[in-house]
Amino acid sequence: MRSIGEMSRDSGLSVSALRFYDRGGVLVPAWVDPVSGYRWYGPEQLDEARLLAGLRRAGMPLADIRLVLAGWSGADTDLVRRLFRAHVRRLEAGLSDARGELSTLRAFLERREKPMTPPRTAAVRLTVPAPELAAALDAVRFAAGTDPELPMLGGVLFDIEGEALTVVATDRYRMAVARTGTGRPADSRVQVIVPSPLVDAMRALVGGEESVHLDVDGDRVTLEAGDRQTAGQCLDHEFPDYRRLIRLPAGRRALVDVATFQKAVETGPVRTEEARGQDDTAPDLTMLGVTADGTVVIGEDGDDDADQVAVNREFLLHALAAGARDRLILEIGAPTVPIAIRRPDDEDTFSMLMSVRLEN
């Protein structure tokens, strides 16, 4: 007999998923201790659990999974194969429909594009205090993307408008924004995406206390610090409209001591789920909540008054480190809304983490 923890480890299903399938009558334990409530599974149930895990990864509806498991236990291989074929046909039809819809949307997008000179073709020269630029890059660099399928996210957006330089990075699952002042107002808004290797070279150059000069000329950007400089080509892509993405509904706020909170996150309970739409891996998730009185709750067994939001624990720790403050504000809304991590003394520098939709 296997305990629920051993069954989770051997089958690839999380403990919470096994409980869910037990309650739904899909995979019922062979025996439940009437005193402790502990679930125990028979040796023959491991194959069923592995089959169930594979079917869920393949996106099969739960109703069909019930039939597959029934056919499996009854050695009705013909039924199982028919259900497999039917699911593959559904997936192929769905993929075809999705391609058709996306093709229509691409045509719609092309019609909306205006034949205007993109912001990055303008030329501008800025003077920026080196410590401020260094701090801004440190605050956002962790969130830059690495997915080759999304090259427009493989760097940091430099958004120059008026007397402000805003730097933004996102990999879809987290976003970081920071702002610094410039020596003089720009004549027009200019946006360029600086590739991550060039961002790192810039950061290495701005280690002093003097001001540096930033030049943008078409698709080329140059940073000068005294008699040293680094330069390179910008990414030839359009960055998402980050201003729309940062408009979050108000959530509950809590001021946290960063060192204490980091330790609590590192040592606190985690939940491992299939992170749909993120990777093929299952990251450790931290369940967070803020109660009405401003108390931070970590873990699923927290106060019922706190809406629990699941976030990637590694991403959370990165954001806390990039916050570069002894105290930070944690803002948490509904479970489907990103959480925000803000500085108490700087409203223009913050990061956001997408919540993770749990399997159940």
- Tokens, residue 12: 């690839």
Question: What is the per-residue burial (b if ≥16 Cβ within 10 Å, else e) of 211-240?
Answer: bbebebeeeebebbbeeeebebebbeeebe
Residue with the bigger pLDDT between 337 and 41: it is 41
CA distances to 80, 225, 306 from 265, rounded to whole Å, are 44, 39, 17
Segment 49-62 shows an average pLDDT of 90
Among 174, 78, 166, 172, residue whose Cα is nearest residue 119 = 166
- pLDDT computed for residue 276 by the predictor: 43
Max avg pLDDT among 3-12, 195-204, 283-292:
195-204
DSSP code string of 297-346: EESTTS-TTSPPEEEEHHHHHHHHHHH-SSEEEEEE-STTSPEEEEETTE
**What average pLDDT does the structure give for the chain?**
86
pLDDT over threshold 80, residue 128: yes
Give tens-digit pLDDT for 135-192.
Answer: 999 999 999 999 988 898 999 999 998 889 999 999 999 999 999 988 777 677 889 9
- pLDDT computed for residue 18 by the predictor: 92
pLDDT over threshold 80, residue 205: yes
pLDDT over threshold 60, residue 226: yes
User: Domains, the chain, ranges and CATH?
Assistant: 2-88 (1.10.1660.10), 119-243 (3.10.150.10), 248-353 (3.10.150.10)
Share of the chain above pLDDT 70, in %: 89
- pLDDT computed for residue 321 by the predictor: 95
Segment 30-44 shows an average pLDDT of 90
- pLDDT computed for residue 300 by the predictor: 59
Task: Kindly report which listed range (172-176, 287-291, 297-301) carries the lowest average pLDDT score.
Answer: 297-301
